[in-house]
Amino acid sequence: MKYQIVHELPGRIRFRVDPAEAFSVREAAVVAALLETQPGIARAQANWRTRGVLVNFAPQSRDAVLMTMTALTKEFYGEIAAEMPAAPERQPGLAQILLGTAARVAFRSLFPLTVRNVMTAWRALPYFRRGLGSLVGRRRLNVSVLDAAAIAASMLQRDFRTASTVMYLLGLGDELEEWTHRRSRQNLSDSLQLKVDSVWLCGDDGVERKIPARLLKKGDRIVVRQGSMIPADGVVVGGEATVNQSTMTGESEPVHRTRDQSVFAGTILEEGELTVRVTALAGGTRVDEIARLIDESESRKALVQTRAERMADSLVPYNFLLAGLIFLFTRSVRRASAALMADYSCAIKLATPLTILTTMSAGVKQGVLIKGGKYLEALSAVDTVVFDKTGTLTVASPQVARVVPLNGSSRYDVLRIAACLEEHFPHSLARAVVRRAQDEGLKHEEEHDKLQYVVAHGIRSTLYGRQALIGSAHFVFDDERVACPAALKRKISAEARGATTLYLALGDKLAGVIYIEDPLRAEAKSVIGELRREGVRRVVMLTGDNDHTARHVASALGVNEYRAELLPAGKIDCIRRMTAAGSRVAMVGDGINDSPSLAAASVGVSLSSATDIAREVADVVLYQGLSKLPVARRLSCRAMAKIRRNYNGIVGVNSAIILLGVAGILSPGVSALLHNLFTLGVSLYSMKPVSGERED
């Protein structure tokens, strides 16, 4: 197998397989299974969509991993996959994980005490290996070492029951983390599927044949008609059409596509017909590029430790020092081991998750879903917020803003005639005109002759014996030669203020102008103002729309920085440059095209109306609209402030208890009681919800 190493840490490598050896869903499962059979490999994952392979292994087995990857050929794993049954692999759900843990505890209680103790000793071995690996391999005293020491101390005192309980709780946490990750990756994979089963292949003889989409090859010519999804990246070789690329580029309006222009897999052909020469298949399309960007960004994000872990790890050396001093002066293993289990980090590790869980619960009640503690931490530290435009700062639903009659026409007639002409066509601008006429109760029966639609330009017909035209300035003035003074053209353009302009002409005169815009969300400007008051120093807007529209929206919202005409790769590049410059970035977006940027940012935020993939990739989801973004920010800041207060309190009070105990003022029993009571008090305080409401 040909591959490249895209990311590596001790004991962990991520590979990217060569496109020529890309594997199917079933083959990916075989590749992962074959890798996991090799000595030294603890776990392997293969992603068919991104052509990625992630391997966790013993540090001394790196060369064996590389040799195994090289030896795996497509012929080998493909033959095995072909013989596999078609039934999908069933993964355990959350209820099964919890019930499984309970069942194991109950089953273990059936064995005699001696057998249970042997089982506990066997189960402790992985914890000892991890602890020794951190201590010896990486020379770090962290929570893994402390866990191993606490389990070992319990076993040395023959307290196997305590050791077993600790291991069950640690194991349950690992299983829940794995379940969350697996579900997230599966949902991501499902969201990225194009769901195109068949395509129309245009043969060399000009005859069209319907074939399964999986049989497409590079260089094939396919015909895509109105209402269909484009199944592969390609170049137009015939026809013309309007294509809705909002999922890929963020453009609020459909774009005109004709010969020699590119089209993307996953976009929708709204009007017209295209013949497309395929340039990229599954594994190499723009959609797959998005998947790879997400995959790579997530691998970097996974290296960030939560604040609770860092706090606990920083205190571990002091726990060992304290235990050593106690043993040195008392020669009591029991008293020394108590310092390992009743320590600073124990209270921190208990209070911090309670604060996080309580805050997450409070967030849900206030319309904010925060997916984990590290995202609370990241959101509280954000100093830069980046917004996508279409669908995030705007409502992504074109509406008629103004109707301006000219040359003696009435506003009533301009809107009525425009709706009469446009009602036959399903594109978004036409729907906006028809919807506005309906809202105003205007009747627009068909009074025109046969319509001639010019793709991406306009409509030509005859009404009351006069030519009727509606469309773009280029269509009405340049193609159809309707006269319009230059001063009037400049005035119309100046008054557009970022809106799309439709021109209606009757006979040889311009009858009126209709301005259509994607309106701003009512709350957008106030949200930006609140964020600045909450300490966000920089607000940036990124969009695939043209510079004129972007400038108007930015000006209306008071946004000083914007970037226009960006593809997904351009957006993620902007995010990475900001991050590299030291900014802590939150990205707010709603489309497939925003997903890589959501994953690359310190924290990604989406709306409940966003695409499935954007909601899946986002770290925070606003279920009650954009107005909840400042609420999410305040929740995170207050939660982290509470965690810091807990940290200071735990260190201060426990230090006082220890000092009083060493001085002989408190007996060991009273010290333990006070420690436990204080831990309980901190936990109850941590469970008190924080508010996301603004405190005036």
Cα torsion 112, 115, 116, 117: sign: positive
Q: How many CB atoms lie within 10 A of CB 31?
A: 26
Contact by Cβ (8 Å): 443, 416: yes
Contact by Cβ (8 Å): 194, 229: yes
Query: What does DSSP say about strands 538-542 and 561-563: parallel, antiparallel, or unpaired?
Result: parallel
3 state SS of 271? strand
Helices and strands (DSSP H and E) totals, the chain: 24, 24
Report d(CA 129, CA 317) in Å as an integer: 19
CA 504 to centroid of chain Cα atoms = 43
Report d(CA 294, CA 694) in Å as an integer: 34
Which is nearest to 549 in space by CA: 612, 497, 492, 602?
497
H/E segment holding residue 432: helix 428-439
Report d(CA 136, CA 142) in Å as an integer: 12
Backbone angles phi, psi at 469, to 5 degrees: -130, 140
555 Cβ contact partners less than 8 Å away, ≥ 6 residues apart: none
Contact by Cβ (8 Å): 514, 400: yes
Residues marked active site are found at 388
Sheet holding 3-9, edge to edge: 3-9, 12-17, 52-57, 41-47
Report d(CA 416, CA 435) in Å as an integer: 11
Residue 84 per-residue DSSP state: S
Residue 133 per-residue DSSP state: I
Sheet holding 538-542, edge to edge: 368-370, 620-622, 603-607, 585-588, 384-388, 538-542, 561-563
CA separation (Å) from 489 to 474, 486, 694? 12, 5, 48
Contact by Cβ (8 Å): 436, 457: no
3 state SS of 506? strand
Residue 89 per-residue DSSP state: P
Which is nearest to 335 in space by CA: 656, 672, 664?
672
Contact by Cβ (8 Å): 691, 638: yes
Which is nearest to 223 in space by CA: 205, 256, 200, 244?
200
Backbone angles phi, psi at 322, to 5 degrees: -65, -45
Report d(CA 369, CA 362) in Å as an integer: 9
Tokens of 125: 């071995």
Which is nearest to 40 in space by CA: 11, 66, 68, 61?
61
Report the amino acid identity of residue 120. Answer: T
